[in-house]
A and B are shown apart, each in its own frame.
Chain A
Amino acid sequence: MQEFDKKFVNPVGKSVPRIDGKGLVTGQTKFAYDVQLPGMLVGKMIRSPHPHARIIKIDTTKAEALPGVKAVITAKDTGEIKFGSNEFFFPHLVDQMPLESQKVRYIGDEIGALAAIDEETAEKALKLIDVEYEILPGVFDMLEAMKPGAPQIHENVRNNINVILPVNIGNPDRLIKESDYVREDVFYCQSAAHTCMETHTCIGQYENFSNKITLWISHQAPFKVREAMAKCFKMDLNDVRVIKLATGGGFGGKLEMLPMDFASCVLSKKAGGFPVKIAYTREEEFTCSRRKHNMIYKLKSGVKKDGTLMGMTGEVIADGGAYCSYGPTLLASTIMRIFMTYQIKHLRITGYRVYTNTPISGAIRGFGGVQSGFAVESHMDLLAQGIGMDPAEFRLKNITTPNMVAANKMVISSNGLKECIETSMNASDWKNKRGKQSHLHRGIGMGIAGDVMGSKMYKAHESSGGIVKVEEDCSIYFFTGASDTGQGSNTALSQIVAQELGVSYSRMKCISADTAITPFDTGSFASRVTFIAGNGALLAARDAKEQILKIVAQDLHLDIKDLDIQAEEVIMLSTKKNIMSFEKAVKLCYSFNYGHQILGRGSFNPQTSPVDFRTGEGNVSASYSFESQIAEVEVNTKDGKITVLKLWDSHDVGKAINPSSVESQIEGSLAMGLGYVFSEDLKFENGRCANANFEGYRIPRSVDIPPMETLLIETIDPQGPYGAKGMGEAALLPTAAAIANAVEDAVGIRLKELPFTPDKVLKALKEKYGEDINL
């Protein structure tokens, strides 16, 4: 019988150590990047060197003749079936083939792949591929791409506009006219990269005779990969097994099938069934995975003198790069977020996602919310300023409340936004600092945000299933489809199972995200796992518990309704007496008389209403999470450097299942937010990435991290498992605006273009104060 650790009884709300921690700190855990299989070949993608060209001919004979090359594939080895990530909602926007046959649309576009016995041979073979292209004029700027007469990237797509989303609610023009103060602002947000520490990696194996595929992968959504693979191979879902291994970060970048996943399996088939591993180089990771949509955000709003937000109009233009990816849902997400935080009833914002001959833009932590967070939260401060109101007070007047329905029919239940704002103000000493430190060139600024916990990205449902298996030695396996990519979901879900089953967390083991053996889950995105997979876990544990209690009740002639398992004991609810230990109860289940295997199952699909992507109406998520963030900065007026003195993030997480994990998620988000504000800027010159390495693309380092304080607000969501809500993404949404707002408080300049480099600060200071910037 397994010994249990008393410390970890009732684990929900405790910072228990990670379930997979020991393997990670000792180097024993195997990531996809580490996998070596017998006979494994090295695969490489054949990529376009041109941003826009027609493929005339591909000659692979020289490469095939090179000793050590085992397979070369091009589009003709595939079914040439198009796939897309938003296919379910936008079938007409499916625009990418696993390997392109007609045209290439960005530098790096995949037209083939090859497999060889080693890296060196594969590299050599790549150089022997002869491709004849007809070079076409490219278009790299989204505004240029929208002009009539611009090069057409996809057929039958007018002015390269991939998606138009006209959100139109109420009568904003009239309300703006009735306002006391109206202003218009334009904000610019650059592109950025995920830079997961583990690059995209997969190992594909095709068993010819059984017609079966196995793909080991570093990923956030193995079930999504399975679906796309099955479609492109014309196979049944269960012929494709996708196994997620330990994954070195995702952040939205590992959320789709990439051509490499498909190619590794086709190569394996052609090479006679040997496994083929494709691992992106760091340069490929920067240039050929996914990137953040750079956006132009125009907003115009009116307010009453008393601070009432009347109406808003605007336009969002997003650079989608060469293909559709999750573009349509991302555009909806960037525009719709305002309804989570502000009680605005009249709004018209039209979103355009535009194709350019640059790498594909897709999902990245925040899913459009970082860009809208910067624009909306900067704009709100400017509106408050225009009527001479404190920006915190302005927000408190206009924010959403618990139990309300927003103008776009979002149903908000638990909502700690007010508390978030107030606690962050108190913690940062807002009242004594705001507007009072400009003599020190110091300032303090605020931004708020809301986030979903789930949304239907690629299916009619977004369910998550769990299975709890209690062994006769009382060790417990939890099987979940949810992908732990480092955020700690295996730990949090196991805590929920242990809590509900009434046992110590030390009994738990977790197997996750293997499409052949774990239940389905849509993936780790939209901060959905704790909420949705957490409910799946809860139901599975409850089912297992009922099975145990049924046998106890039967054996002792008790009423099952009067029994529960709490803290390792079966108890009688009416008398509060212990009946027997959990261990004894399990022994009873597996005894001579009963022989009953304890296999609990749960499936949870949140109640949401379908979203009308034409109007923006609908309830995308079953509940929403909220936060308020405050930044204190000091601006050096001589060299233009902004120093963040401290960040406060007050976050409504519903209930922190694992407070330490929750803090880590917030801190990691804040760091990512800071990187985007100050240094992360993925640059392109004529479609070619100009800084595809960590030297040119600087992500935050230890020395860049200011003090951070996280304040957890627990509103206990009525639908969340133990009241928990999702929170993995929201913390970086308001960071840019909080800093921009703080900079204005410090030195009176308004930064509307990210990232905030010293040059831009100096330029703004000069524009405002002339040469005499010593204030």
Chain B
Amino acid sequence: MQITFKLNKKNYSLDLQGHETLLEVIRNLLGLTGTKEACGEGECGACTVFANGKTVLSCLTLACDCDGYDILTIEGLSDGQTLHPIQEAFLEKGAVQCGFCMSGMILAAKNILDQNPLPNLEEIKKGLDGNLCRCAGYPKIFDAIEEAGKKIIKAK
């Protein structure tokens, strides 16, 4: 099955068998290992990517259903030169520990801030509900998202 999609601003044309998940395609076929797998069952959020402007769990998404889509993974978040404000804020606020959940967490944060750059704590918590982190205990992640929102507004 032939599909084409845009991933991190590049066009890809792929010949797939049909059963591959988007996660498998991103990691194994395209070699972009920033997107993680921590359960493979839609329960942890580590595999979060953007598809057509919305976050999806790539472990539950069939790649062939993404024909024509515009996909963004953690590797495409920054412009390749400077960090994205969310990445900056996560570092500044000490929100990163082992980092295995971080790709998904940061994209989930982007999803929250895309909707409202000044979210309150409840909105942040709700927006992260599907993203598990075992290291951090979350408060520093909440702070980082608040801070990132401020940075984004300032940059505008």
Most central of B34, B75, B92, B95 by chain A CB within 10 Å: B34
A771 CB–B CB distance under 8 Å: no
Q: How far is the CA of A251 from the CA of B134 in the complex (A)?
A: 9
Report chain A residues within 8 Å CB of B99.
Answer: 20, 23-25, 29, 246, 248, 486
Q: How far is the CA of A197 from the CA of B105 in the complex (A)?
A: 12
B103 CB–A CB distance under 8 Å: yes
**Nearest-CB residue, chain B, relative to A665:** B97
Report chain A residues within 8 Å CB of B55.
Answer: none
Report chain A residues within 8 Å CB of B106.
Answer: 25
- Inter-subunit contact A694/B74 (CB<8 Å): no
- Which residues in window 24-72 of B have CB below 8 A to A? 27, 31-41, 43-44, 46
Query: Using a Cβ–Cβ cut-off of 8 Å, how many residues does chain A contribute to the interface with B?
Result: 56
Give the shortest distance, in Å, between A24 (CB) and chain B (any CB).
3
Contact A664:B94 (CB < 8 A) given known A26-B34, A26-B83, A693-B39: yes
Report chain B residues within 8 Å CB of A510.
Answer: none
- Inter-subunit contact B133/A197 (CB<8 Å): yes
B contact patch SS: loop
Report chain A residues within 8 Å CB of B113.
Answer: none
B22 CB–A CB distance under 8 Å: no
Give the shortest distance, in Å, between A15 (CB) and chain B (any CB).
6
- Inter-subunit contact B75/A27 (CB<8 Å): yes
Q: From B102, B128, B135, give the contact of A702 (CB < 8 A).
A: B128
**Nearest-CB residue, chain A, relative to B28:** A36
Give the shortest distance, in Å, between B103 (CB) and chain A (any CB).
5
Contact with A along B122-156 (1 / 0, CB 8 A): 00111011011111111111100000000000000
A762 CB–B CB distance under 8 Å: no
Most central of B31, B35, B94 by chain A CB within 10 Å: B94
A584 CB–B CB distance under 8 Å: no
Contact A668:B136 (CB < 8 A) given known A26-B77, A246-B99, A249-B100: yes
B13 CB–A CB distance under 8 Å: no
- Inter-subunit contact B125/A703 (CB<8 Å): yes
- Inter-subunit contact A667/B140 (CB<8 Å): yes
Contact-residue bracket for chain B: 35 or more
- Inter-subunit contact B83/A22 (CB<8 Å): yes
A33 CB–B CB distance under 8 Å: yes
- Inter-subunit contact A27/B33 (CB<8 Å): yes
A21 CB–B CB distance under 8 Å: yes
- Inter-subunit contact A282/B74 (CB<8 Å): no
A102 CB–B CB distance under 8 Å: no
- Inter-subunit contact B134/A249 (CB<8 Å): yes
Contact A705:B138 (CB < 8 A) given known A26-B74, A26-B87, A30-B33: yes
- Inter-subunit contact B35/A27 (CB<8 Å): yes
Report chain B residues within 8 Å CB of A31.
Answer: 33, 36, 100
B1 CB–A CB distance under 8 Å: no
- Inter-subunit contact B92/A670 (CB<8 Å): no
A701 CB–B CB distance under 8 Å: yes
A281 CB–B CB distance under 8 Å: yes
- Inter-subunit contact B139/A705 (CB<8 Å): yes
Report chain A residues within 8 Å CB of B23.
Answer: none
Report chain B residues within 8 Å CB of A199.
Answer: 38
Give the shortest distance, in Å, between A596 (CB) and chain B (any CB).
36
Q: How far is the CA of A314 from the CA of B36 in the complex (A)?
A: 46
26 residue pairs of the A-B complex, CB under 8 angstroms, read: A17-B91, A18-B96, A20-B99, A24-B99, A24-B102, A25-B83, A25-B90, A25-B91, A26-B74, A26-B78, A30-B33, A31-B36, A34-B27, A34-B33, A197-B135, A487-B135, A488-B97, A660-B140, A663-B140, A664-B136, A667-B137, A693-B43, A700-B138, A701-B129, A702-B124, A702-B126
- In the complex, the 7 A-B pairs of residues with the closest C-beta atoms, listed nearest first: A27-B34, A486-B98, A248-B100, A24-B99, A667-B137, A660-B94, A671-B137
With A663-B140, A702-B125 already in contact, 11 other A-B pairs whose C-beta atoms are closer than 8 Å: A17-B91, A27-B75, A34-B33, A196-B100, A198-B36, A248-B98, A661-B94, A667-B137, A672-B134, A672-B137, A705-B138
